[in-house]
Amino acid sequence: MKNLLKRFEEELSTYSKTQKLIAGYILSNYDKAAFMTAGKIAAATGASESTVVRFAAELGYDGYPAMQRDLQDIIKNKLNAMQRIDITGGKLRADAVGGVLRADAENIIATIDSIDRDEFNKVCECILSAKSIYIIGVRASSALAQFLGFYLNLIFPNVHIISTISVSEVFEQILRISEEDVFIGVSFPRYSKRTLNAMKFAKSRGAKVVALTDTESSPLCKYADYKMTARSGMVSFADSLVAPLSLINALIATLSIKKEGEVVESLSNLERIWDEYDVYEKADNE
């Protein structure tokens, strides 16, 4: 769907008087409107709540929550940390624990409903056929990249987690990437330019590029041959990365099933090494 704010600007003259009030309010206050209920939008514009809900349906959404999510996706990369706190702080003060956990659960459910299984399977096949696997994630997304890389390293022999300390270091590590390889870029709002530039470079060298991001409109998708999207709702100045981590778990599980023989052999060898070098604390009865 076209960017909702641009659509309002282009179509405003065709709306009814009440619809113009709603669209105009959202255009002028989009940072706050994205997190307001239909009832609060109605109160702010003088419209009825049912009119706000009908307007969302007339725009092609399944309901007001779908329009609200679309608006949140549009703006969340535009807000700085202080703006995020200002917008989300009010609804978390009463019950931060419950609010955050419910939002995380909703993000996972939304991801389940939206995941493209065919695209997911293509990503798996792409990884399975690659000579080398390169993974990059910057700032908060580095935790996701490290987690993915740690477990892929137990399945595949040539896994490279890109260090992102400096720009030059990134390109030095992927200098020899080729069409036989796969490059996985992980980024969620606010999107990393370093990740985008690395994906662009990998694509220019003929590597298959996979994006793990939040929406189809993410800038990562511009350079991706394949994409996996997981919802990362904004519940505070920190984005929720629960759904992306769950999707990564699903990817690891699927790949381990397809490479079950190699995985069992690797883990058996590792268990012997872990025992020999006393890596893990042993249970009292051992």
- The residue with tokens 């009814």 is 16
3-state secondary structure 63-86: CHHHHHHHHHHHHCCCCCHHHHHH
Listed in sequence order, the residues at least 6 apart from 189 whose beta carbon sits closer than 8 Å to its beta carbon are 76, 77, 214, 232, 234, 239
Listed in sequence order, the DSSP H helices in the chain are: 4-11, 17-28, 30-33, 38-45, 49-58, 64-75, 81-93, 96-114, 117-128, 141-152, 167-173, 193-204, 242-258, 260-276
For the chain, the structural domain boundaries read 1-75, 113-276
Nearest to 192 by CA among 239, 128, 154, 152: 239
Query: By three-state DSSP, how is residue 232 classified?
Result: coil
Tokens of 61: 């959404």
* Beta carbons of 58 and 16 less than 8 angstroms apart: no
Backbone angles phi, psi at 131, to 5 degrees: -75, -45
Half-sphere exposure of 124 (CA within 13 A, CB side): 19
- pLDDT of the residue at 1: 43
Alpha-carbon distances, residue 156 vs 133, 153, 263, 284 (angstroms): 8, 5, 9, 34
Could you give the CA distance from residue 89 to residue 85 in angstroms, rounded to a whole number? 5
What's 100's DSSP letter? H
- pLDDT of the residue at 193: 93
pTM for the structure as a whole: 0.74
- pLDDT of the residue at 176: 95
Could you give the CA distance from residue 99 to residue 116 in angstroms, rounded to a whole number? 28
Amino acid (one-letter) located at 65: P
Query: By three-state DSSP, how is residue 22 classified?
Result: helix
Domain 113-276, architecture per CATH: 3-Layer(aba) Sandwich (3.40)
- pLDDT of the residue at 71: 85
* Beta carbons of 134 and 160 less than 8 angstroms apart: yes
Same fold yes or no, 1-75 and 113-276: no
- In this structure, whether the domain defined by 1-75 belongs to CATH 1.10.10.10 is answered with yes
Could you give the CA distance from residue 138 to residue 192 in angstroms, rounded to a whole number? 7
Amino acid (one-letter) located at 238: A
* Cα 219 to the center of its chain, rounded Å: 12
Helix-helix angle 49-58:64-75, to 10 degrees: 70
Alpha-carbon distances, residue 244 vs 59, 88, 115, 140, 273 (angstroms): 29, 21, 11, 12, 31
Alpha-carbon distances, residue 84 vs 9, 237, 248 (angstroms): 25, 5, 26
Q: Which residues of the chain have pLDDT under 50?
A: 1
